[in-house]
Amino acid sequence: MNSFKETKRSALVSLWFMFLTFPVMVMKVDAIEKTVTWRWENMAFIGIGSFILSLFGRAFFERQKSRRQRQIEQNIEKRNLIQIIISHNKYLYPLAIAFFLFALLFPHLFSTYQINVMTTALMYVVLGLGLNIVVGVAGLLDLGFVAFYAVGAYSYALLNLHFGLGFWAVLPIGAILAAMFGVLLGFPVLRLRGDYLAIVTLAFGEIIRLVLENWNEFSQGPSGVSNIPRPGLFGIDLTLDQAITYLYYLMIIMVLVTIFVVNRLQNSRLGRAWVALREDEIACQAMGIDKTKTKLTAFALGATWAGMVGVIFAAKTTFINPASFTFLESAIILAIVVLGGMGSIVGVIIGAFILILLPEYLRALSDYRMLAFGAIMVSMMVFRPQGIISNVRRRYHYDPEKERSE
């Protein structure tokens, strides 16, 4: 009975697919000769193919469901390999040291091109970790994150152009400016949540980009700012290769600092308040948490990282224009956070590497890149909506006996 029902469902699915793909797979219109070729055999392939896939899919889901049932019955907590590694220091530390050594040796093992790609990926790690504070931890869906990135990049480009300020002077200025813009965005959206918040932040991102594009006197418009100096190293003249390697190490330090700070923030009084705000705003306020202050700090601290990476981005490419700060950029950063796992630092790092490095190394298949991108996102949402690594709440240990004896 059950299997008959399943077969019927699969047949329906295959019918639906045949109908959907009909215009693309069956009809072939030759506009020059004005003929239409009907390729009915394709329809048969699609029908049979989707029928079999759907059957397999159903069987797979059924198996998984029964397995999960068993796990619940036997009271086993489901954790994947990476989570086990993260939660045990004896696995985590050697692995982290190995990664760190590899990262240090990386420029000596690979070509300049590879170093450049890796630097970009590291920049997205920091951007992802910044957005993670806003979206993953505090639960404020921000679709205009790229605006802060642009603020950072343009503050370096313009301060350098007009006042000749160097990279190291602008790095903190860019961070502070971005944080201020974060607060600026935060104020009008204090009352908004979810979809409404997303729309306003999206508009905010577009406003910043359009201003940069159209206010020629201020930002030189679409032609952008060029000849931005690379970061200096105690006044030593660096060759191009050296400068790239230098930037790579700079990014490594930046990533380490970000991980350190974000981790501490998440495990603090403020971090708990962010999570509580995400969970239930009314209860949160009733427990004495200042909603305004907590939301604004989340926006500001998220934006800070984008501002700093923006400065580094301007220094890396030596040329910026508004085209680098489109909505697609925001979408990619958001995808990194969602794919990696909201609120999980390791997840976001892995997500950034997957989403930035994979397209780089799959250039041969670049025609299908967006297709693969979409397929990955859709299947992630279906199979692992919590991301590659779901955030595990911190466990506290408290031993009253020990406390008393101290």
Partner 1 sequence: MSEPILQINNLCMNFGGIKALDDLNLDVEQGEIVALIGPNGAGKTTFFNCVTGIYNPTHGDVMLSPPGKPSIRLNGLKPNHVAEKGMARTFQNIRLFQSMTVLENVMIGRHCRTSAFILGAILRDRATMQEEKQILQKSYEILQKMGLEKHMNELAGNLSYGEQRRLEIARALATEPFLLLLDEPAAGMNPQETQDLEAMINLLQQEGQSILLIEHDMKLVMNLSDRIFVMDYGKQIASGSPQEVRDNPAVIKAYLGDDSYA
* Residues near partner 1, by CB under 8 A: 261, 264-265, 268-273, 275-276, 279-280, 282-291, 297, 301, 393-396, 398, 400, 403
Dist. CA 165–CA 146, nearest whole Å: 23
Q: Which is nearer to partner 1, 162 or 393 (CB)?
A: 393
Q: Which is nearer to partner 1, 97 or 287 (CB)?
A: 287
> What's the closest the beta carbon of residue 406 comes to partner 1, in angstroms?
10
- In sequence order, what E strands does 318-384 have? none
H or E element that contains 38? strand 35-38
Q: Which is nearer to partner 1, 383 or 396 (CB)?
A: 396
The total number of residues written for the chain in this structure: 406
The conformation of residue 28, written as its DSSP 8-state character, comes to E
> What's the closest the beta carbon of residue 274 comes to partner 1, in angstroms?
11
Q: Which is nearer to partner 1, 39 or 88 (CB)?
A: 88
Residue 318: name the closest of 251, 250, 220, 244 by CA. 244
Q: Which is nearer to partner 1, 248 or 274 (CB)?
A: 274
- Answer yes or no: are the C-beta atoms of 212 and 314 closer than 8 Å: no
Dist. CA 359–CA 325, nearest whole Å: 19
Residue 351: name the closest of 364, 341, 361, 362 by CA. 341
> What's the closest the beta carbon of residue 254 comes to partner 1, in angstroms?
15
The β-bridge partners of 236 are 233
> What's the closest the beta carbon of residue 313 comes to partner 1, in angstroms?
24
Q: Which is nearer to partner 1, 5 or 402 (CB)?
A: 402
> What's the closest the beta carbon of residue 395 comes to partner 1, in angstroms?
4
Q: Long-range contact list for 166-172, CB < 8 A, 24+ apart?
A: 166/229, 166/231, 166/232, 167/229, 167/230, 167/231, 167/232, 167/311, 167/315, 168/231, 168/232, 170/311, 171/308, 171/311, 171/312
Q: At which residue do the structure tokens 């630097």 appear?
A: 119
The conformation of residue 387, written as its DSSP 8-state character, comes to -
> What's the closest the beta carbon of residue 125 comes to partner 1, in angstroms?
19
Q: Which is nearer to partner 1, 58 or 291 (CB)?
A: 291
> What's the closest the beta carbon of residue 255 comes to partner 1, in angstroms?
16
> What's the closest the beta carbon of residue 300 comes to partner 1, in angstroms?
9
DSSP helix/strand/coil, 192: coil
Q: Which is nearer to partner 1, 58 or 272 (CB)?
A: 272
